[in-house]
Amino acid sequence: MNILLVEDELNLARAVKKILEQQGYYVDAVHDGLSAIDYAKGMEYQLIILDVMLPKLDGFEVLRILRKDGLNVPILMLTARSAVADKVTGLNSGADDYLTKPFDTEELLARVGALTRRRGEVIVEELKYEDLSLSVQSAVLSCGGESVQLSHKEFELLKCFLYNPTMTLTKETLILRAWGADSEATDNNVEVYISFLRKKLRYLRSRVAIRNIQKLGYRLEVEPC
Ligand code: CA
pLDDT in tens, 43-94: 778 899 999 999 999 999 999 999 888 888 999 999 875 666 666 676 777 8
User: In the sheet where 140-143 sits, what is the strand order?
Assistant: 126-129, 132-135, 140-143, 146-149
What value does the mean pLDDT take over residues 5-27?
A: 92
Tell me, in angstroms, the distance from the centre of ligand 1 to residue 32's CA: 9
Instruction: Compute the distance from residue 108 Cα to the ligand 1 centre, in Å.
Output: 16
> In the CATH scheme, what is the code of domain 2-117?
3.40.50.2300
- Distance of CA 144 from the midpoint of ligand 1 (Å): 49
Q: List, for residues 125-155, the tens digit of each pLDDT value.
A: 788 899 999 988 788 999 999 999 999 899 9
Contact in structure between 26 and 177 (CB atoms under 8 Å): yes
Q: Where are the domains of the chain?
A: 2-117, 126-222
Average pLDDT over residues 198-222: 95
Residues less than 5 Å from ion ligand 1, measured at CB: 8, 51, 53
- 78 C-alpha to ligand 1 centroid (Å): 8
Global pTM reads 0.57
pLDDT in tens, 60-69: 999 999 988 8
| Higher per-residue pLDDT: 193 or 71 | 193
Cα of 50 vs centre of ligand 1, distance in Å, is 9
Does this chain's domain 2-117 share its CATH topology with 126-222? Answer: no
Q: How far is the CA of 171 from the centre of ligand 1 (A)?
A: 28
For 126-222, give the CATH class. mainly alpha
